[in-house]
């Protein structure tokens, strides 16, 4: 589990393909810390497992599923990546609860300055956009951000100067692809409601049905 607060921008040391999977080496100062075998690290928002490390880099396995659902397969040497180690129970939860399980890839539709921040607009598939809500949380390449606007096929966020300087968004331009993880809560609530409300009311959820099934 992560918070979406990026600890460091690392650099890709290399991506070695092994059939449908891969091993990814990241050059990072995190390797000088107390890394452990099997530790989870979020790389551009994808939770990956440390298998080896030295004084300047660490290596993680990348599964076929992760290569399919994320942008990691397109990484090249020296490209910057957002890094975050797993959350300790004693840490401050400054962002939001992030699992590191990427839902889909989104494309940056617009990027422009708006007062002291930069607004990013992302095109998103309908099946994922349903979990994006105004003023809710979203993880973009592992960065915890607040949703400012949602349309029928896109959403936008405002990124303050500090967040821009401390993450790879500083280099992202229109047309670039990023990893998206929606808020955990919405997906769990939907799953809990399936089979309890839908058979009784094909029209969907209502305040009455939520109260009847113990959610209010």
Q: How far is Cα 97 from Cα 94, in angstroms, rounded to an integer?
A: 9
2 inside domain: no
Weakly modelled stretches of the chain, pLDDT under 50: 198, 200-202
pLDDT number for residue 204: 59
- Long-range CB pairs of 120-125 (<8 Å, 24+ gap) are 120/156, 120/157, 120/159, 120/169, 120/172, 121/154, 121/155, 121/156, 122/154, 122/155, 122/156, 122/157, 122/178, 122/180, 123/153, 123/154, 124/153, 124/154, 124/155, 124/180
pLDDT number for residue 128: 93
Closest CA to 186 of 163, 164, 162, 215: 215
Give the chain's domain count.
2
Among 25, 52, 85, where does a domain finish?
85
**Full domain range(s) for residue 55:** 8-85
Residue 127 near residue 30 (C-beta atoms within 8 A): no
Do 146 and 71 belong to one domain?
Answer: no
Beta bridge partners of 14: 25
């Amino acid at each position: 589990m992560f918070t979406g607060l990026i600890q460091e921008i690392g650099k890709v040391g290399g991506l070695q393909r092994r059939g449908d999977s891969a091993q990814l080496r990241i050059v990072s100062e995190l390797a000088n810390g107390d890394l452990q075998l099997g530790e989870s690290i979020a790389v551009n928002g994808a939770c990956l497992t440390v298998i080896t490390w030295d004084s300047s880099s660490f290596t993680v396995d990348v599964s076929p599923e992760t290569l399919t659902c994320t942008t990691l397969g397109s990484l090249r040497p020296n490209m910057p990546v957002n890094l975050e180690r797993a959350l300790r129970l004693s840490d401050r939860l400054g962002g939001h609860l992030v699992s590191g399980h990427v839902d889909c890839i989104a494309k940056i539709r617009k990027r422009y300055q708006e007062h002291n921040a930069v607004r990013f607009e992302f095109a998103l598939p309908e099946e994922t956009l349903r979990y994006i809500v105004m003023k809710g949380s979203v993880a973009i390449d592992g960065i915890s951000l607040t949703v400012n606007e949602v349309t029928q096929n896109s959403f936008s966020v405002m990124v303050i100067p500090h967040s821009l300087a401390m993450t790879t968004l500083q280099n992202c331009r229109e047309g670039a692809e990023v990893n998206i993880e929606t808020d955990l809560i919405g997906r769990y609530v939907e799953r809990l409601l399936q089979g309890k409300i839908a058979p009784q009311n094909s029209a969907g959820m209502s305040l009455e049905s939520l109260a009847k099934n113990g959610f209010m």
